[in-house]
Chains A and B, each alone.
Chain A
């Protein structure tokens, strides 16, 4: 019987305080998304395995099961793919750009996930059908504001562009590219130098490739990168970042942005700007996203797209580290009463709730001393006692 009080590996409970903090953050972020004109959608928790793996979902990281026809199902591991499926099927005829948002738990069967369990919560948006820098700037403005409304004071958005590195590697074979990308993504600078040296490139190209993970800093780093850019692809990546940055300035979020041209992110499908959000003393990213123009073609129709997701548990951790507590569920009034005063008590409670107060009404009559005790135990700020 040991199992009945346990929860499965990779899952957790949210106790009232934790659930309140989670709900508070999710509500504020949902409100923000709505204000920007993003409409919420809900998709099934499980999809067919093929749907989730078509754009790079790794089968071994998915929770799988069978339906009654023995077809393999999997729990969604992120929301970009289900939304792409939705957009390409039931929302196919909607006017573009399509702005959608979500808030749900996702599932990844992986040990060693920093700051979260196998089941964790994400809020995010997808912006489909717009390929300009303005769309990317809106996504970054939205991500920045999402972290702000969540209560975080100290955080940084780290912005990159995968086409910069892709451009610099244009003449390399697919296998070499993949190896270099992997080294850049993990900032394995030692490994990167070995791989590049083995390619026998001219010194200039080799040095440039080695520098990619070190292109890190403020807006001035784009000038350094522009000097290294040796073809249209890599140059337009830098122009794109500059354009996004200018728009971010108007949005008032540019002061949060630093650049790192070595950000590629884990997923294969990013095709343009990519970003991650960091807070000091939290060793992993709080939010991340980017442009993924090729993915929707996997579902039948080429369509540019960009978006991001924030990790709710990770934001909660970062808030805690910064001394910001979102669990301030106002416990206003504990309402108790003496024998035979139940009518008056119910009416009083209704009236107070009408005023917007949070009121817990005792379910049994109490004497005043017990009522005072209950109020303290339950953490209410005020006792109203009807006698």
Chain B
């Protein structure tokens, strides 16, 4: 069914460049595909491809509804979204982990000592799943960025956030006390697209597997 387009959702930010580069290596690209593109949909008519560039957290939504057939997004975002999408391939890049950190100078003896305290996070769903599994009730404060600021200005006692190198934590005198989950970028697909456009999507997976 080469007459049909495949729509690919790519996230703005850190993963965009790496994702676009990887797809380009297997010939999945389009003229003018860059993050600052003013066009909302970037099309490659010869290869029957359409690219859309969305906010990170929106990629699973576009794919779940089938507005995009496939997408590339971090496992952390997939887990937080709770969306029903197919996860086809671990792309290996965008490595980071979800963890809980607290101010070094106010570190408490045990994790349980933080029960009923405030935790600032961009991942309230994952944070809640984690604390519930430890039998802890917490007060969740959803922030959209600069999570580290929470404990510094007294908004929260701890944070749950994504860390790559830990530099930001160190700079802000925070210390990781629990490792919650690992994350890398994943290739995801819509359940209907995966079946109706199986050949092309599966070829992409095979091609990518070869170069990863």
Q: Which A residues form the contact surface with B (CB < 8 A)?
A: 112, 114, 156, 158, 186-191, 213-214, 216-217, 258, 260, 278-285
Contacts of A217 in B (CB 8 A): 198-199
Q: How far is the CA of A335 from the CA of B59 in the complex (A)?
A: 54
Contacts of A280 in B (CB 8 A): 4, 192, 196
Interface string of B81-108 (1 = CB under 8 A from A): 0111011111000000000000000000
- 16 of the cross-chain contacts (CB-CB < 8 Å) are A114-B64, A156-B195, A186-B84, A187-B189, A187-B191, A189-B88, A189-B89, A190-B90, A216-B202, A278-B192, A278-B195, A278-B196, A282-B192, A283-B67, A283-B193, A284-B192
Looking at the assembled complex, report how far the CB atom of B186 sits from the nearest CB atom of chain A, in whole angstroms: 6
B66 and A282 form a contact (CB under 8 A): yes
A284 and B191 form a contact (CB under 8 A): yes
* Chain B 44-99 residues near chain A, CB threshold 8 A: 63-67, 82-84, 86-90
A216 and B65 form a contact (CB under 8 A): no
Contacts of B90 in A (CB 8 A): 190
Interface: B194 (CB within 8 A): yes
B87 and A260 form a contact (CB under 8 A): no
* Chain B 157-212 residues near chain A, CB threshold 8 A: 186, 189-196, 198-199, 202
Closest to A189 in B: B88
Looking at the assembled complex, report how far the CB atom of A185 sits from the nearest CB atom of chain B, in whole angstroms: 10
Query: How many pairs of A and B residues are in contact by the CB < 8 Å rule?
Result: 65
Looking at the assembled complex, report how far the CB atom of A205 sits from the nearest CB atom of chain B, in whole angstroms: 21
Given contacts A214-B202, A216-B202, A283-B64, contact A188 B195 (CB under 8 A): no
Looking at the assembled complex, report how far the CB atom of A321 sits from the nearest CB atom of chain B, in whole angstroms: 10
Given contacts A278-B196, A282-B192, A283-B193, contact A188 B86 (CB under 8 A): yes
Q: How far is the CA of A371 from the CA of B199 in the complex (A)?
A: 59
Closest to B202 in A: A214
Contacts of A214 in B (CB 8 A): 202
A187 and B194 form a contact (CB under 8 A): yes
Closest to B189 in A: A187
Given contacts A114-B65, A214-B202, A283-B67, contact A190 B89 (CB under 8 A): yes
Closest to B81 in A: A112
Looking at the assembled complex, report how far the CB atom of A210 sits from the nearest CB atom of chain B, in whole angstroms: 12
Q: How far is the CA of A216 from the CA of B195 in the complex (A)?
A: 7
Contacts of A213 in B (CB 8 A): 86
A283 and B192 form a contact (CB under 8 A): yes
Given contacts A214-B202, A278-B195, A283-B193, contact A190 B88 (CB under 8 A): yes
| Interface core residue of B65, B88, B195 (most chain A CB under 10 Å) | B195
Looking at the assembled complex, report how far the CB atom of B198 sits from the nearest CB atom of chain A, in whole angstroms: 5
Contacts of B64 in A (CB 8 A): 114, 283
Other A-B pairs, 11, CB within 8 Å; known A114-B84, A216-B195, A280-B4: A112-B82, A158-B195, A186-B84, A187-B86, A187-B191, A188-B86, A189-B86, A217-B198, A258-B198, A283-B66, A283-B67
Please tell me the size bucket of the interface on B: 20 to 34
Looking at the assembled complex, report how far the CB atom of A220 sits from the nearest CB atom of chain B, in whole angstroms: 12
Looking at the assembled complex, report how far the CB atom of A282 sits from the nearest CB atom of chain B, in whole angstroms: 6
Contacts of A279 in B (CB 8 A): 192
B66 and A281 form a contact (CB under 8 A): yes
Closest to A284 in B: B192
- Shortest beta-carbon contacts, A-B, top 6: A283-B66, A187-B86, A278-B192, A283-B65, A216-B198, A190-B90
Closest to A115 in B: B65
A186 and B195 form a contact (CB under 8 A): no
Looking at the assembled complex, report how far the CB atom of B7 sits from the nearest CB atom of chain A, in whole angstroms: 10
- Please pick, from A114, A187, A284, the residue contacting B88 in the complex, using a CB distance under 8 A: A187
Q: How far is the CA of A188 from the CA of B198 in the complex (A)?
A: 15
Given contacts A186-B86, A189-B89, contact A283 B202 (CB under 8 A): no
Contacts of A283 in B (CB 8 A): 63-67, 190-193
Q: How far is the CA of A214 from the CA of B63 in the complex (A)?
A: 19
Q: How far is the CA of A114 from the CA of B191 in the complex (A)?
A: 12
Looking at the assembled complex, report how far the CB atom of B183 sits from the nearest CB atom of chain A, in whole angstroms: 11
Contacts of B202 in A (CB 8 A): 214, 216
Interface string of B140-161 (1 = CB under 8 A from A): 0000000000000000000000
Closest to A279 in B: B192
- Please pick, from A186, A282, A284, the residue contacting B87 in the complex, using a CB distance under 8 A: A186
Q: How far is the CA of A316 from the CA of B86 in the complex (A)?
A: 25
Looking at the assembled complex, report how far the CB atom of A167 sits from the nearest CB atom of chain B, in whole angstroms: 22
Closest to B86 in A: A187
Contacts of B196 in A (CB 8 A): 156, 278, 280
Looking at the assembled complex, report how far the CB atom of B191 sits from the nearest CB atom of chain A, in whole angstroms: 7
A284 and B66 form a contact (CB under 8 A): yes
B87 and A189 form a contact (CB under 8 A): yes
Closest to B69 in A: A283
Looking at the assembled complex, report how far the CB atom of A73 sits from the nearest CB atom of chain B, in whole angstroms: 29
Given contacts A189-B86, A189-B89, A190-B186, contact A260 B66 (CB under 8 A): no
| Interface core residue of A187, A191, A214 (most chain B CB under 10 Å) | A187
Contacts of A114 in B (CB 8 A): 64-65, 84
Contacts of A281 in B (CB 8 A): 66
| Interface core residue of A217, A279, A280 (most chain B CB under 10 Å) | A280
Contacts of B67 in A (CB 8 A): 283
Looking at the assembled complex, report how far the CB atom of B197 sits from the nearest CB atom of chain A, in whole angstroms: 9
A188 and B192 form a contact (CB under 8 A): no
Contacts of A285 in B (CB 8 A): 191-192
Contacts of B198 in A (CB 8 A): 216-217, 258
